[in-house]
Amino acid sequence: MYFLFKKDKLFNESIKLRPVEEFININLYRPLAFLFLLILLKLNKNIKPETIVIFHTILIILSAVFIFFNNTLFNIIAFFLINLKIILDNLDGQYSRIKKLESELGRYLDTLMDFLGNFILFLIIGIKYNYIFFSIFCFFLFTFILSYDFNLEYLYRYFKNEQFRPNIKDNPSFLVNFLKKLYNILLEYQDNFIRSLENKMFNLVFYLVSLRKNKKNFNDIEIIKEKMKEIFWSKFYLHITANMGLSTQLFILSLLILFNMEFYFFYFVIFQFLLLILLLIIRIFIIIFYIYKLLLKD
């Protein structure tokens, strides 16, 4: 559906620009959310983005309840509820950008409500199949995967000296401070770990390269370092992580629910986690190979 709106000025203003778009999001869910956005704009009601966030959180919790009952009709209902949740999850951001209502409150609330909804979804599936601890373990892998998508884009933009997100500051309030502290407890450790891991892996390889500086006549070690960054945080890798985003994850889960196979989503999560580890190893070897080629030239 993206081709219908890609030249539409309002549509392009409503979407969050990313270096690489999540395929199913930009081609399906964002256009559908845009149709909802047009309806909201025509209604001209004073709706807050936070209201949409609360509503789509209720939808994901309701879908979890329907999944618990081993019933074909309920599975179909859960499928539609999850897909409606994905649409509305896109809508809250698109609506806030068009209405100039972006806020810290909205950002933290959206992230934390997604966390809550996803946790309940995983927990209910775990209870249904009597694998509660396994479901919680997979949930934390799931949040790590989503965080990796978020942080790899952050590092790519940081290297390119691009702004990651618009700098928005709300007036100090108890609710914003509370949500910020809750985010720091539940998710910030993942951000810190991923960014630290990425930087340490890069710095380790660069350190090994710098040791060779005295043995080989590198013309400019800083130029080599910048080239290594360009390779290590290449836009190419974002094509993989961007398509591990929440919309794609929930879409795949909703399809599995239709066939009463939602438990297999846990194995899919583990597979993605292992894929991220493999991707990091491959990225390290690619820059090592690049340096090896330089050594051969000198």
In this prediction, residue 217 carries a pLDDT of: 54
Residue 190 to residue 195: CA distance in whole angstroms = 8
pLDDT grade, residue 88 (50/70/90)?
Answer: very high
pLDDT: which is higher, 290 or 296? 290
- Count CB neighbours of 67 within 10 A: 24
Q: What is the mean pLDDT of the chain?
A: 91
> How much is the average pLDDT of 88-98?
95
Q: Locate 163 and state its tokens.
A: 């702004």
Per-residue exposure over 202-222, b if at least 16 CB sit within 10 Å of its own CB, e if not: beebbeebeeeeeeeebeeee
CB 98 within 8 A of CB 37: yes
Lowest mean pLDDT among 96-105, 166-175, 218-227, 248-257: 218-227
Residue 298 has pLDDT above 70, yes or no: no
Q: Which residues contact 149 (CB under 8 A, 6 or more apart)?
A: 241, 242, 244, 245
CA–CA gap between residue 150 and residue 91 (Å, rounded): 19
pLDDT tens track for 239-251? 999 999 999 999 9
Supply the CATH number for residue 129's domain.
1.20.120.1760
Q: Report the number of distinct structural domains present in the chain.
A: 1
Return the SS3 of 48: coil
pLDDT at residue 168 in the model: 80
pTM of the model: 0.92
pLDDT at 136 over 90: yes
**Residue 207 confidence (pLDDT):** 82
Instruction: Give the pLDDT score at 213.
Output: 59
Q: What is the pLDDT at residue 293?
A: 75
Residue pLDDT, tens place only, 161-210: 888 777 788 777 899 999 999 999 999 999 999 999 999 999 988 887 77
Note whether 207 and 228 are within 8 A (CB): no
Domain residue limits at 149: 2-297
Is the pLDDT at 79 greater than 80? The verdict is: yes
Return d(Cα 79, Cα 258) in angstroms, integer.
6
| Rounded Cα gap, residues 47 and 273, in angstroms | 38
pLDDT exceeds cutoff 80 at 49:
yes
pLDDT at 224 over 90: no
- The predicted pLDDT at position 261 comes to 96
Instruction: State yes or no: pLDDT of 216 exceeds 60.
Output: no
* Cα atoms in the 13 Å half-sphere on the side-chain side of 56: 27
Asked if 85 and 56 count as a contact pair (C-beta separation under 8 A), the reply is: yes
- The pLDDT assigned to 36 comes to 95
